[in-house]
Amino acid sequence: GGQLTETVRRRPYAVILFDEIEKAHSDVFNVFLQILDDGRVTDSQGRTVSFTNTVIIMTSNVGSQYILNTDDETLSKDATYETIKERVMEAART
């Protein structure tokens, strides 16, 4: 099997970290969709691997430039937060 399925098959109570997921290949996203939809993946050797007890953490730097470039002293903290939140969510959608 692959690295991901083999690791989870041997240690089903695993925590898996995918850092900067926006740089991943599109096939990786297809596997994530299958995991989210079915809770399991079939590896290249035909073995089904369950992800029901696996925690998957994905990080992303999408929209981080909006957080770093916010120097608006005229807005309140709540207004600044909402502005940043809207910009980051828009960047994540595109």
Condensed to tens digits (0 to 9), the pLDDT of residues 34-83 reads 999 999 999 889 999 999 999 999 888 877 777 777 666 667 777 788 88
**The predicted structure's pLDDT at residue 87:** 84
What are the structure tokens assigned to 1, written together?
Answer: 């099997």
Phi, psi of 32 (to 5 degrees): -60, -40
Q: Taking the domains of the chain in order of start, what are their residue ranges?
A: 1-61, 62-94
- Quick one: which of 36, 32, 60, 43 has its CA closest to 9? 43
Integer Cα distance of 87 and 55 in angstroms: 28
Handedness of CA 76, 87, 60, 39 (dihedral sign): positive
> Which of helix, strand or coil describes residue 49?
strand
